[in-house]
Structures are given as C-alpha cells and as structure tokens.
Structure 1
C-alpha cells in the first residue's frame, strides 16, 4: 500500500514519463514529491504558465508526454494562456493539479472542470481511492493517443489516501489511422492524371503520422516538388526538390515556382490564410486538394477535401499510381536551375543598419553562417519571427518549436527554450524572442539559466511592440502605448548568471563563435538592438490588405 501521491508518481514513471515541470503549492507539493521520488526529473519553473509552456515545448521537440504540475485554484488558472496554446497546437502534455476536496468547493475554490473546459481541454478527476490509479493511467494515455493536453485534478483530501499499487492494465489506444476512402482516392488520382506541375505540401499532421518517407517516394514517382507549412519546416530539408516553406514566409523565387503549380496536394495541413498567403500564392486555376483527418478545417480555396491519415493516404496514392502506370511529370526538368537559387539566402536587400542598430535580416543571416545545422529553433511571437524563419532552417519539424502560433500569443519563448533543451539536449537550442515577449516571460529566463541548460537566446530588441507599431500606427494608434525606453537585456541576463552581449553590428557576434568553441556552456544571450524600421514581409502584406479593405 502507498498513498496516492507516491503511487501516482511510481505508476507514471513505470509508464515512461521522464520529465515534469511545475510550481509547487499546498495543492501539489506532495504530488510533486511523489514524482521526484519515482525518479521523474523535475524542473521548478518560476510561473505556472511557464511550466505549462515547458511541457508543451518538450512534446513538440520529442513527441513524448511530459508533466506540468500546479497547485489548485490560482496555480491552475495561471496556466490558461499556455494551456490554450498547447491545446490549439495539439501538444500531448499531462497537467497534474490540486483541487478542492471531494465533498465540495471551499470559499477560495473554483470549478476547475468548467475552467479547463473553456480552453477546451479534457479533465479527469480522481474520485476515490479505488479508481485513483486507473484515472491517472487513462489521463496519460489520452494525452498520448490524442496528442492533446489533459488535466488530472487530484482533490486535496485524496492526496494522502492509501491505495493499492497494482498497476491498472492499459486500455487499447484508439487508432488515429484513417484510411483514404476509395472515392477520395479516385478523385485525387483523376487530378494527378490531369496535372502537369504537381506539388506535395506537408503540414505538421503529415510529420506526426510519419509520412515523410512515403511522401518523398510519392513525389519521386510522380515528378512532384515539395513544400511544407511553417510548423512542418525541415521535413524535406535534405531533398533537392524542396521549395522550403509554403506561404507567407516563402522566398520570392520559391513563391513564383509555387504559383506555377497546377495541382497542390496538401497532407496534414490546415491550410489557414497565412499558409495560402491570403489567396495570393496559388495560380487561380490550380487545383488544391486537402487530405487530413476528420475535423481539420478546410479553406474556401480548397478544391477537394479528402479524409484520411496522411501517411496511409500517401501510401495508397503511390500504390494506385504504380498500378495505373501514370507517367511522371517533367516539371522538375523545367525548374532545376530556378530551384537552385530559390532560397532566401539568394535574395538581396538594402541593409538598413546604422552605427548603433543592426538590420535584423543581416543579424540572422550572419548567425546562420556561424551556428551548426543541428539545432532546435524556439520562436516566441511577434513580427521578428520572419527573420529566423527565413534564415535559420531546421533539420526536421520537431526542431521548429513555434510557441505563439496557435493562440497568437507572446511571452512563452523562454519557457519554450527550457522545455526544448530538456527534451533534446543533443541539439543546440536557439531561442528567438522580441523584446515585448522577452519581458513578458522574463521569469523563465532565470529558469533557463539556473538549470544550466545550453541555449543561445537572441532578443530582437526594437524597444516596442513592433507588430502593433507598424500595423496600427498608420491607422492613428497612439504609439506611446506600444513603444518603450531601451531595456538592457544583456545586463539583466548577466545579473542572473548568463553570459550576455549587446549586439549592434555583425562584429559583435564574435561572442557566439567563442561560446560554441567552448562547448556552448549554459546560456548565452544576445541583446540585439535592431533597426525598428525594417518591416517583416508578412506584416507588410497584412498592412496592404488592411488598407485595401478599409473604407476611404
């Protein structure tokens, strides 16, 4: 026999959970002791929202479930933003939190099930000692099988109740492999038969289904080019026929080639307006096929929506193409020379740097020449995201940890760096943040430094909420609400124990070379004073679109 707190930790460790992140309080400190006592590695965060973002980033970087643990009430409500980001992205994480006693709410309690349900995320609550471990196992398996955050509430009066440590049998996980329906297969084959310039587009759903190799085979067989969404960056990184990112971050020459495609088959991609560049990316006559699991939202631009798991669908298509003897397209022969110069590194621009501020494009391109290719890029939210997305390619989708995309938030970058570094210590973590998001999530910079994780932090510091300044300044916004005096991020980082340098020109990046040569110990923060006038291309498009739709 053991108490719930102890038994819970042991069973989760036995089922393969290796890492937990959290902030302890009266509702979970004994639960956390159960986790650490079972050998689960625990990272104490400075804010519950940071702990949730760490567990989210850990899943993105590894594909495995980590634990976020909080106390009851405000401990749980503090994770709201990060929980919503994880839920909307589809990150498997297990939240273990305290809760009101079984007999009812106290004056300071809230209905935690209702609160989490608004995100939404599934909630399981331990009801009694007989089903406590069964409930915990079900919560973990749901997080794993459905790739979503699941909240396990442990009532205050249940934590120290004795339970049998008999491990409940795992329930069979529901399969997520949805076969391609015959009618859908025939429709896609018909489109392939007519296509002269086919392109295969992979989203993060394709990566999660393990479709990378079969999509390469399918593309080789039909003579297609490849592209990915931002979240699936790197999926075809080593293939010569890859155009890189499809959408608002596409390089101009790559976008021109994409615009010549007469058939685009999207696997596991939601096809949001950004991916389709607000309707400007594809040729008006191009056929757009969306293949994904039921429930994915289709864009109005989609010609044909087909339900099916990405990997299974690609395999079925390849089999059918071979059976019918469809000839491959000759499109690759026509664009060979164009693809060779289609990347951002081949695009010129007028450097806007000054004596005391560096052009963010020049900064990021210079870092790309210094940093090793085997890296995890962690992005916070803000207009600066375009520069690392352009110039810092990643080796595979698990190395692109974009913490603000799903819920349109900022402030999760430092926490994301911790989670990614814990999950993949073998890869260099490069965390990119704007100054606004950096200050919002500053407590977890201390966590990153304190835990000794190796990471390069790049703060794109324009002393403003740059997105809002550029987007809404022309519309009459009072920019005093979005601009600030300069922040000495380097000084802050050094006070917390990191190595830090203020970067105003490319020559200041000597510190990165030195840090790498020493084996990249701990955290190196670059406070990059960037030119505020350089506007990201995707933001310029939004501004132009806003101007064209607003009444004069």
Structure 2
C-alpha cells in the first residue's frame, strides 16, 4: 500500500524538490516513509527554527522554494520566526506540518501538540495556510503552493495534514506529476507606452533595484545603460549590477548621499522594491523625497499601492516589464550617470566610522578571496556595514536578517542552507551574541559535511544595543552577556576553529576552510580588527583588499 505520506513525497519530487529540512517526530514519521529512494535529501537541524532558516537560505541562494517537515504544535511555533523572516523578505518556503485528527483538532482536551487553531497562527506569515482533509485534494494544494512560488509574490506556504490522513491508502490516486504553473504577469501595453514616454523625457533618471529584481539582472542592466541611469541596490537587490560597474551604487538608499541622488532625479524607476523603511528610512528621518516622476514595477498589485504613490504602476514580473520598457526607449549617449553614481558611492564610503569601515573591509576581503562566494549575515556590525556599502559579485550572493523582520540567529543555519542548495563557497557572518541563538546548528552543518566558513565577530556582548542604550542615557542592562569559548565549542562539534590574528591571514584561512569537509569557525576580535584596519587607511582611504591577497 502506498500511504498518503509517501504520495506527498512523490509529489514534491515531481516538482523538483531535492532537499527537505526537518526533525522527525511521532506526528510526522509517515512523511518520512517515502523519502528513501525518492532522490530527496533530508537535512536534520537541531531546532525547527534552524530548519526554517536553512530553507530560507536555500531559497534565497537558489531561487527555488525551501521545504520543511515539522511536527504539529511546537514544530510550527518554533519555525514561526523563520517563516515570518521569509514572509517579510518575499522568500519562497513550503512548510508541511502534521495536525491532530478531526475530533481532536482544537478540541481543548489537551492532546499531544494541540493548539486551538494552528492554521490561524500560520496565516499571519504565509501566502496561505491549508488543512488537507481529503487525500484527493493534496495534489491540488501542492500545485497552488508552487504557483505562488513561480508566478506571484513568493512567500511561505503552510500545509497541514492530520496524522490519521497520512496513513491512508493513496494507491488509487492519480500518478504524482507537476502541474505547469500559471504564466508570470506581463505588463499592460498602454502602461508600458506611458512609462517609455517618461523615460524618454528624463534627463536625470535613477533606478532603485530591490529583491524582486534579483532574477532580472540582465534586463535591468540594459535599461540602466540605455537611460544612463545610476542603479541604487537594496540589500536584497545587490549584485544586479556587478562590482565596478560605473552605474552601480551598492549602497543603502537611506544614506544622505543616496537620498540626495534620489531627490535630484527627475525620474525614479523602482524595480521590485517595496520601499521598506529598513532599506529606505533606516535612520527614521523620513527617507528620500521623490520630487520627479515615479514608475513602480511590482508583481504584487497591493504592494504597488502601498508607500510611495507612483505616477505609473506596472504590475508585472520584473524581467518582463524591464524588457518591454527597454524595447520602447531609444538609447542615449552617456552623460553624467556614471559621475552621479561615483559621487554617491564615494560620499557613502567617506562617512563610514572605523568600525563600519572595518566591516566593509572584511566583506571585501571575503569577496576577493572567494570570487563565487555567498555571504549570509545576521545582525552584527560588519553586517550593518555590508547593508550600507557592499557590492555583491552577482545576485543572490549577499543577504542577511538585519533588514525587514530583523531576527537574530539567522546567519548560521541560513548559510548552511545556501551551501546545501548551491555548493558554492559560503560564509556566515555573525556576532557573538546573535550566533548563540542557533549555535547548535554547527552540529547539523558538521553532520552534513559542509565546508561552511563562520566568521564570528566578537565584541563580547550585544555591542550595538549597548551603544544605543548609552546614547539614549539608559543604563546598559542585559547587554554584557557571558562570552563562552567559541573555539572550544566549535571543536567540540567536530569543526575546525581558528582565531584571526591579523587581516592579512584571512584570505589563506578562507581558502583552506572551503577545501574541508566540515565547518570552520574563524573568531575575529572586533577591537583588534578595527585597530588593524585603521592602520591601513592612508591619504586615499583604505587599501583595496586585492592588494593584500
């Protein structure tokens, strides 16, 4: 007999799922019956939150949905934070849980893992949450989930199956197969004509690129070069223009220099960006005023109506809209686009304090030492620096949890998921406080044989929060936390562990680490690294990291 649990696995395989992150429990073991021989790899985190962050990192790095199996009740509540982070950043994630059978579901009688209504909980951070009550509807629900991932604004989807349903006979159900997803929405012709007219009239255009443009790098580059327009990239949009491109501005749009660039533009094209305050108004000053015309490109019609009102809203797939728009605009001779972009980049770099400058230096050394690297950040000083001023080599190569929902503990499991999904060199960049939220996931990475690099930025506590409290005249309570011996802990998990003595050692340590079959933790003392970096600053600024490799 083929059970519904086995049929579920076969459906996932039909949709190209190659990895599932999960922790088996008595309420989910039937989902595991079909995994052997399915071609789907199972990765066991040490906490359901870790499973969700792994799925998130897998999805951001690959563009494919991350899939999780978790138990009912505490499995869902544990993974909720990771789902909310993915919801905030439009990350495709499929979370499949068990639930108590009808009659016990939400009964209030105290059954194992019982919640009053776990689907209602999941609705707060999903595109949709669905309870499968008949085996015949499972294929349709999976098809709906993958339609969201492929053709709409990608966000988590939650599907729950009653424990007794998982054991039923599925032999009579149709053979599992993938249903073709709906076409991605194309822009309306009349709106493209109107937008092209604004583009042709613009003298000082600027493009804002968000995470929705991550898979539209080529058409966005063509539009930027056609218009001679600087491209300001949010964190999730970094890499759509490569480092060194004269029109690229891989800097936060919340900085004074980028705000000035936006305000001086007579046309702003916002491609795949929601104008979220953590990107555009991080310092809560009101953000840039858009005094020129605004064209918004967004796959979500509701989001296109939130925040900044557009003169023209193109509700469409970003790549399709950019291609259609560029085709209607005659190329123009290069004017001052590169000069405007360069001035903004230089002004942002100039305002960095020593700690932020050291953080940018660290990330640039990683990028140059490992050209195909993926860097995944938590909330730590060098991550904040990267949010302000770091150019990723290509899209989906730099992301973090410091914007949007803003959870701690993200980087370590998310980096593991990114490495599993891509096989590319992957670096986790975390602080000593944040990494303690999910430190046991080192064991999961070791078990999976991942050559993951963990750069541990140690300032012996919650340094950013402590500085914030002191600046507001608040006694710093709860921030000077006990700092364990991270290198001993790493070795206890079977990982390699190093302490960085000077920045010049880092490239060799990185190259050695990615050749291993286990994670490597490299501890960096903030004070020592900042001091060493400051000594390298000469009259022309920080020496390029390529000269130190």
TM-score by length of 1: 0.84
Structure 1 residues 37 and 303: alpha-carbon distance in aligned structure 2, compared to 1, 3 A threshold: closer
For residues 372 and 343 of structure 2, the distance between their equivalents in structure 1, rounded to whole angstroms, comes to 22
Counterpart of 1:439 in structure 2 is: 436
Q: Unaligned regions of 5+ residues in structure 1, if any? A: 535-552
**What's the secondary structure of 2:477's corresponding residue?**
helix
* 1:151 equivalent in structure 2: 158
Q: Deviations over 1:529-548 (max 9, x none)?
A: 113998xxxxxxxxxxxxxx
1:115 is paired with a residue of what secondary structure?
Answer: helix
Give the equivalent residue in structure 2 for 1:316: 324
SS at match of 1:97: strand
What SS does the aligned partner of 1:102 have? coil
Q: Pick one of 367, 371, 374 that aligns with 2:372.
A: 374
Residue 241 of structure 2 is matched in structure 1 by: 236
Whole-angstrom distance in 1 between the partners of 2:129 and 2:332? 51
Residues 533 and 417 of structure 1: CA distance in aligned 2, closer, same or farther (over 3 Å): closer
Q: Is 1:213–2:218 an aligned residue pair? A: yes
Q: Quick one: distance in 2 between partners of 1:224 and 1:510?
A: 35
Report deviation, 1:422: 0.5
Q: Secondary structure at the match of 2:328?
A: helix
- The unaligned stretches of length 5 or more in structure 2 are 531-549
SS of residue in 2 equivalent to 1:247: coil
Distance in 1 of aligned mates of 2:186 and 2:90? 18
Question: 1:204-228 CA distances to partner (integer Å, 9 max, x unpaired)?
Answer: 11224xx322222222222223232
| Larger mean Cα displacement after TM superposition, 382-391 or 124-133 | 382-391
In structure 2, the CA distance between the partners of 1:439 and 1:249, relative to structure 1 (3 Å rule), is farther
Any idea what the Cα deviations from partners look like across 1:167-203, whole Å, max 9, x if unmatched? 2665553333141462x44553443344222222221
Secondary structure of the corresponding residue to residue 494 of structure 2:
coil
SS in 1 for 2:374: strand
Partner Cα distance (1:308, 1:402) in 2: 27
Does 2:69 correspond to 1:69? yes
Aligned length: 518
Relative to structure 1, the CA distance from residue 344 to residue 100 in structure 2 (aligned partners, 3 Å threshold; closer, same or farther) is farther
Give, in angstroms, the shift of residue 364 of structure 1.
4.1
2:87 equivalent in structure 1: 87
Which residue is 1:544 aligned to?
Answer: none
- Which whole-Å deviations, capped at 9, do the CAs of 1:132-178 have from their partners, x for residues lacking one? 44444444444444422211211111121111252266555333314
1:237-252 matches, cutoff 5 A: 237=242, 240-248=245-253
SS across alignment from 1:275: helix
The answer for the alignment partner of 2:491 in structure 1 is 494
Contact 2:19 2:40 in 1 (8 A): yes
Shift of 1:116: 0.8
CA contact (8 A) 1:243 1:254 kept: no
Distance 1:502 1:493 in 2: 12
Matched residues in 2 for 1:44 and 1:513: separation? 26
Secondary structure at 1:415's aligned position in 2? Answer: helix
**Aligned 8 A contact 1:134 1:168 in 2:** no
* 1:470 aligned to which of 463, 467, 470: 467
1:115-194 pair list within 5 angstroms: 115-146=121-152, 147-164=154-171, 165-167=173-175, 170-171=178-179, 173-180=181-188, 182=190, 184-185=191-192, 187-194=194-201
For the pair 1:99 / 2:103, whether they are aligned, the reply is no
* Match of residue 268, structure 1, among 254, 272, 278: 272
- When residues 87 and 292 of structure 1 are mapped into structure 2, their CA distance, relative to the original with a 3 A threshold, is same
**1:33 CA displacement:** 3.1
Quick one: distance in 1 between partners of 2:56 and 2:404?
Answer: 12
CA distance in structure 1 between the aligned counterparts of 2:519 and 2:129, rounded to whole angstroms: 36
Question: When the two structures are superposed, what TM-score results if normalisation uses the length of structure 2?
Answer: 0.84
Alpha carbons 2:304, 2:313 under 8 Å: kept: no
Who is 1:339 aligned against? 342
* 1:364-412 superposed Cα distances (whole Å, 9 cap, x missing partner): 454455x222111111124431234467532222112324533121111
**Residues 378, 220 of structure 1: alpha-carbon distance in 2 compared, 3 angstrom cutoff:** same
Q: How does 1:328-367 map to 2 (within 5 A)?
A: 328=333, 330-332=335-337, 335=339, 339=342, 342=345, 347=350, 360-367=359-366
The question of whether the paired residues in 2 share the 8 Å contact of 1:360 and 1:531 is answered with no
